Amino acid sequence: MDITAVNSLHYEDFVSVFGNVVEKCPIVAAAVCSQRPFNSLNSLEAAISEFIDALPQSGKEGILRCHPDLAGRDLQRGTLTKESNEEQARAGLDALESTEASRMAQLNQQYKTKFGFPFVICARMNDKDRILQQLSERCGNEVELERERGIEEVKKICSLRLHGLVNTEARNKL
């Protein structure tokens, strides 16, 4: 799918295709859909980023709360979104040893208790060891910093998902 195809999608199809580039937040895709036409995938990505940046702090925290715990119960129950499941598996979070799983669960709970939203990191850019290290370190941060860090990670996830959608569609047409 090229940007012309993206721009020609009906509203419902646009939201269906891009509705989970920000985890469980189709409202983001719905909001940026009205900004079409986009000149490029990068301009679509910028529109999403600008929408997120313009949200009040409570909106940003809402986006963070839509993310599942890493290696948490949704992974164990098989109820993650397709994208999250693939990303967590790629990082090795679906194959943690029992001590790693216990440590992850403990740190996830500590983090959520302190910040009020789950720990968010771009799993596709990290492995399980780096994720555990970052989770441990970031538990010591202040709320404002973690909100900012979490949103930056959301944007990384969004970027990879956007580029994956377009690249997958382009490859399928070859």
**CB atoms inside a 10 Å sphere around CB 37:** 11
Q: Which residues touch 171 (CB under 8 Å, ≥6 apart)? A: none
Distance, first Cα to last Cα, the chain: 11
Catalytic position from the list 60, 67, 147, 161: 67
Query: 21: which DSSP letter?
Result: S
3-state secondary structure 95-150: HCCHHHHHHHHHHHHHHHHHHCCCCCCCHHHCCHHHHHHHHHHHCCCCHHHHHHHH
Per the annotation, the verdict on 67 as an active-site residue is: yes
- Both tokens of 51, joined, read 């929408």
- Both tokens of 115, joined, read 């910040």
Contact status, residue 72 vs residue 150, Cβ threshold 8 Å: no
Contact status, residue 131 vs residue 70, Cβ threshold 8 Å: yes
Which residues are identified as catalytic? 67
